[in-house]
Amino acid sequence: MVSACLLTGAAFAQDAAPKVDDSTAWFGSSSVLTQQTGEGIYKAVCASCHMPKGEGAVGAGKYPALAGNETLEFPEYPIYMVTMGGGAMPALGTVLNDDQIAAVVNYIRTSFGNTYNEDPATPEMVAETR
């Protein structure tokens, strides 16, 4: 009986806790985005436009497919696009550091059926683009 009361009290305390909306804090500073893996960064930032499987989308804008995208063959182009942006693509150079940009570029170049394993992006390449 005591454990049931404790569990009920704990559940009530969770329900009573105020909800925090952190959706607008994401781009408040470059230290907010803490994902470090290419996959984690892709899922947190890129998948909403380019879709979870890199298939791209058409809606309010045209978001190119990353799956089978030949423009990813060399790392310089995706490094530039992630860092500086272009068209509907936002510049993420102020949100992601050099290591994070290299990680996400390498992830998209080797995922979704892409096999651009040679000449991986490096933080030094990103720094040269900035």
Q: Could you give the C-alpha distances from 112 to 1, 39, 78, 81, in angstroms and in order?
A: 53, 11, 15, 18
Question: What is the C-alpha to C-alpha distance for residues 48 and 73, in angstroms, rounded to an integer?
Answer: 23
Domain positions in the chain: 35-129
- Tokens linked to 16: 């009573």
Closest listed residue to residue 73, CA positions, set 115, 112, 101 = 115
Determine the pLDDT at residue 59. Answer: 78
Q: Select the CATH number that applies to the domain covering 35-129 from these four: 3.30.200.20, 1.20.120.1690, 1.10.760.10, 3.40.47.10.
A: 1.10.760.10
Determine the pLDDT at residue 8. Answer: 45
pLDDT one digit per residue (tens) for the chain, 130 residues = 444 444 444 444 445 556 654 444 444 454 557 788 899 999 999 999 999 999 998 877 789 999 999 999 999 999 999 999 998 899 999 899 999 999 999 999 999 999 999 999 999 999 999 9
Q: Report which residue type is found at 80.
A: Y
